[in-house]
Structure 1
């Protein structure tokens, strides 16, 4: 089993034990050594599983004290925080740029072919927005996987969950991405080119450029929507004013 699947499997087993009441709310989890022996894995895998569970709100890791089980309400509320599309894009620019730099050092010909095929799917004129979006997500998640760090991969997958499942974030992304497929295809091609050259700095820069352009597109869309709202209010006030004058005539 791969390291990525191993820590996820361990995280699920710990979560199942919490739900079964074996590890009660407010109590401490056993130490890393004990858990490593129980699940027959390394302490590093236990640490990665605990980081994943903390990100989902199941536990709280307190340095120097231990790992504590959170209440059901706490971990239910903590699964997806209430963030804006701008917050999410700023985070993506940090995490995914570094993932691209790591991937540049690890990428092989098979991975390059995988990314190239995904760009072809994104740029296919017959593809629907939904199909292109799926290829887009797979492209970014593939880079996160190629980076070789399961924690980085997990964090980026969690960010994509926010992008797809938080209604306000999803709406902003859909409104912007529907109109900019050509730009996105070119930007993904630039990322792939840097990865093909095994250049970490260029890969990081290409990914940052991608999100910088996306952020600016979001700003422009928000400004346009704000201006449209002002015009709607002005027209409403004008109509009321004219209706008042007509009634007095």
Structure 2
């Protein structure tokens, strides 16, 4: 296992300890030596993992004092801005396309197997297909070699799932066209398997271009349905008023 990959795995282990409550917000992490012994790695790897965790906002390193766990903002604070689905998708297209290109260069054999497994789950179009879709994109982010990109991708997915307006639009899009989405993911997978960063980048861009188009169609249909509903309501009120006038 490469040193770069090792510090990322250790960072994830520390995140797990933080999220489990063993190291709550405001607490001080054990020293480098203690963590290194506990997790079975060198102090250098611990130091690199802590730098990555600080970049992601999990901890703050205070020189001469120690490493402290930071409080994570609640979802309603993260999503307080008026984010819409189209803005989010544009941001995802930029960040996740580059993530795919980097993953094509850095992905490990085991991660590639996990990526292939998510596509197989999506292809079955069962109850776990949406979860597999998110896992597909997360695995790619995890294999960019950049904890910051991984953090951004995870944050974008949280907005996609939890911001009400965004979740509504994505929910409408994800009701249909699943076979096309699976095919798009397979093209991304093939490019990453071939270690072709340009092809991976372009395949992910195409995936988001088609997603954007599907969102436009879904929004248009919803707007037309709402217009038709209001038109019928106006007609019913008009009929009722004319009946009363005739009486």
In structure 2, C-alpha distance between the alignment counterparts of 1:18 and 1:138, rounded to whole Å: 27
Superposed CA offset, 1:67-107 (max 9, x none): xx99x7x9447752242222221121111111100011123
Q: Which residue does 2:228 correspond to in 1? A: 231
Kindly tell me: are residues 246 and 79 of structure 1, through their superposed partners in 2, closer, same or farther at Cα, counting changes over 3 Å? closer
Residue equivalent to 2:50:
46
Map residues 45-64 of structure 1 onto 2, 5 A cutoff.
Answer: 45-53=49-57
Among 235, 238, 241, the alignment partner of 2:238 is 241
Does structure 1 conserve the Cα–Cα contact (< 8 Å) formed by 2:8 and 2:49?
A: no
CA contact (8 A) 2:56 2:147 kept: no
CA distance, structure 2, for counterparts of residue 241 and residue 137 of structure 1: 49
Structure 2 residue 78 is matched with structure 1 residue 80: yes
The CA deviation string for residues 96-138 of structure 1, in whole angstroms up to 9 with x for no partner, is 11110001112354443332222121111xx42x311111111
Q: Taking structure 2 as the reference length, what is the TM-score of the superposition?
A: 0.75
Shift in CA distance, 200/49, structure 1 to aligned 2, threshold 3 Å:
same
Correspondence 1:155 to 2:152: yes
Instruction: List gaps (5 residues or longer) in structure 2.
Output: 37-42, 62-68
In 1, are the aligned partners of 2:123 and 2:179 still within 8 Å (CA)? yes
1:49 deviates by: 1.7
Equivalent residue in structure 2 for 1:139, among 127, 136, 139: 136
Query: What is the root-mean-square deviation in Å for CA atoms of aligned residues?
Result: 3.3
Alignment gaps of 5+ in structure 1: 23-34, 62-68
- The whole-number CA distance in structure 1 between the counterparts of 2:89 and 2:192 is 21
Distance 1:46 1:106 in 2: 21
Q: Residue in 1 aligned with 2:195?
A: 198
Which residue of the partner structure matches residue 167 of structure 1? 164
Quote the Cα distance in structure 1 between the aligned partners of 2:77 and 2:13: 18
Number of corresponding residues: 224
Change (3 A) 1:10 1:79: farther
Cα distance between partner residues in 1 of 2:161 and 2:76: 16
Q: In the alignment, which residue of structure 2 is the partner of 1:28?
A: none
Moved more, 35-44 or 221-230: 35-44
Structure 1 outlier segments of 4+, above 4 Å = 8-13, 15-18, 35-44
- Comparing 151-160 with 212-221, greater Cα deviation is found at 151-160
Give the match's secondary structure for 2:57: helix
Give the Å deviation of 1:211.
Answer: 0.8
Instruction: Tell me, in whole angstroms, the C-alpha distance in 1 between the residues paired with 2:240 and 2:77.
Output: 51
Alignment of 1:19 with 2:16, yes or no, is no
| Structure 1 partner of 2:215 | 218
